[in-house]
Structure 1
Amino acid sequence: MSRAQQPRPITGRMVLLLMVAFFGVVIGVNLVMMRLAIQTLPGTEVDSAYSASLAYQKEIATAHAQSARNWKVDAHVERSGQGGATLRVEARDNFGRPMSGMKFQGRFERPTDRRADLPVDLAEVGVGIYRGSAETIAPGQWDLVLEGVASGQRLFLSRNRVLLN
């Protein structure tokens, strides 16, 4: 018969080493997580809250003017098999007539990361019909931002959440 092995006694040195190892792991994990969080931080939404608040009244007036025009602008996003997307915009005035001669700009914005935003150049392919494409766009949620410009002035702005598969 073999003798049972005696357990090692717990000494002050062993408790100290276990505590140092435990807190070393906790602090190490916290440092790694903090570094990853700082590296992926996209930054601030606006550089100056004061400037943004001053421009807010102008944005309200522009939105009221856009609403008074009563334009109907429809956008359709179609995915291609290679991971891209085609954006088609149809613009009509308040009488239902197609609007020609506008310059529309599209932009896919990631709600969580500004660095992933993709601009889409839209060209008029028919009377009141504008089309553009993004070669590669990841699946997921995006904000589709449409801006209509005529004579150097923005006359239309739309922001809609879209889900791309």
Structure 2
Amino acid sequence: MSRPPVSPKPLTGGKVLAMLIAFFGVIFSVNMVMMRLAIQTMPGTDVDSAYTASLAYEKEIVTAHDQNARNWKVDAHIERGPDGGATLRVEARDNDGKPMSGLKFQGRFERPTDRRADQPVEMAEMGIGIYRGNAAMIAAGQWDLVIEGVAAGKRMFLSKNRVVLN
């Protein structure tokens, strides 16, 4: 009768324990790396408090109705520069088609996927009803162009449009 071959290194309890610790150590390490990467790349919340945002909703509806009643025509044009910057030109006309002067317009390029990439555009009045501002180094891709017009400390105009920059 022949005996089964004997393994040169028998499997002991210590070896099994070491394999289990190594296995779960690798799993734990990978989870920690993935969690750290996820936290670093998370842009954060859209609003800090949903409750506060919901309270402001009624005011936004009234402001939007007032803006529609004014019937202003505000046209925006974006011109890309060779250095990667963008020039934003806004032309504002009232209900009768007359250029509007004395407003303070602000623009903002907002990245739909990452608020950290948002870039404000300070605008100055270059002529009657014509406002212009520059933004340096705007990456190509989809952006939300937000234009706000303020008069006497009150927001009179708000527009948000999706644009694609090449």
TM-score by length of 1: 0.86
Superimposed CA distance per residue, residues 77-117 of structure 1 (whole angstroms, 9 cap, x where no aligned partner):
11100011100111111221111111100011111222221
C-alpha distance in 1, partners of 2:92/2:9? 82
Letter in 1 for 2:145: L
1:139 paired residue number: 140
2:155 paired residue number: 154
1:163 paired residue number: 164
C-alpha distance in 1, partners of 2:165/2:17? 54
State percent identity of aligned pairs.
72
- CA shift at 1:154, angstroms? 0.4
- Asked whether 1:55 is paired with 2:56, we answer yes
2:128 paired residue number: 127
C-alpha distance in 2, partners of 1:53/1:38? 27
- CA shift at 1:10, angstroms? 8.3
Stretch deviating more after TM superposition (139-148 or 40-49): 40-49
C-alpha distance in 2, partners of 1:119/1:59? 21
2:27 paired residue number: 26
- CA shift at 1:11, angstroms? 3.6
C-alpha distance in 1, partners of 2:144/2:10? 60
Could you list the structure 1 runs, at least 4 aligned residues long, displaced by more than 6 angstroms after superposition: 7-10
* Local SS of the residue matching 2:51: helix
C-alpha distance in 1, partners of 2:152/2:79? 30
C-alpha distance in 2, partners of 1:52/1:152? 21
Go from structure 1 to structure 2 and tell me whether the alpha carbon gap of 1:8 and 1:106 turns closer, same or farther (over 3 Å shift): farther
- CA shift at 1:18, angstroms? 4.9
C-alpha distance in 1, partners of 2:108/2:10? 65
Structure 1 unaligned regions, length at least 5:
1-6
C-alpha distance in 1, partners of 2:79/2:63? 30
- CA shift at 1:17, angstroms? 4.9
Stretch deviating more after TM superposition (46-55 or 153-162): 46-55
Q: How does 1:1-165 map to 2 (within 5 A)?
A: 11=11, 17-165=18-166
C-alpha distance in 2, partners of 1:8/1:152? 86
